Amino acid sequence: MSQSHNRGLIEDFGRWREFRAGMWAWIFHKFTGWVLVGYLFTHIAVLSTAIPASGQEAAVLQAGDDVYTQTIVTLEELLLVRILEVGLLAVAVFHILNGTRLLFIDLGVGLESQDKSFYASLILTGLITVASVPTFLAGAF
């Protein structure tokens, strides 16, 4: 038997208040997925600027004066970069946990407890992110 739902107007932005766990899970998953794609290209762009390091003298590399090392050191000295790294970890952990959860749901596992497993992904992401802060911010101040 088929069911029909009145979904209301898409143009009514006030509808975000009606969103339930499944909608937030969908939004967060798309958002984190595309942030990861954006990071991947940024990462390649930044590291590709360090290619000249391969042509440098052994002594320069040893002293850490090469372009690659200087690029990384300069970036890691910025507090903003350290904070963005924590954000990247949060985004990646959530995408992996929620993505794994979705794969199980596709297999028919956990269909009855989708809200709970979404909240579990969020809480676990929060815990792992908070636990990572001392490592990412070490020596930043």
Owner of token pair 């802060």: 133
SS3 86: helix
Do 126 and 117 touch, CB atoms closer than 8 A?
no
Q: Does 128 bind ligand HEM (CB under 6 A)?
A: no
- Separation CA 91–CA 80 (nearest Å): 16
Q: Which stretch binds ligand HEM (CB under 6 A): 11-19, 35-43, 54-62, 115-123?
A: 35-43
Which residues have CB under 8 Å from 56's CB, separation 6+? Answer: 66, 67
Closer by beta carbon to ligand HEM, 22 or else 64: 22
What binding mask, one character per residue, do residues 41-80 give for ligand HEM by CB under 6 A, x or -? ----------------------------------------
Q: Find the shortest distance in angstroms from Cβ 28 to ligand HEM.
A: 11
SS3 98: helix
Q: Which stretch binds ligand HEM (CB under 6 A): 7-15, 63-71, 100-108, 119-127?
A: 100-108
Closer by beta carbon to ligand HEM, 1 or else 45: 45
Which one among 25, 28, 29, 118 touches ligand HEM, defined by CB under 6 A?
A: 29
Q: Does 100 bind ligand HEM (CB under 6 A)?
A: yes
- Separation CA 127–CA 94 (nearest Å): 11
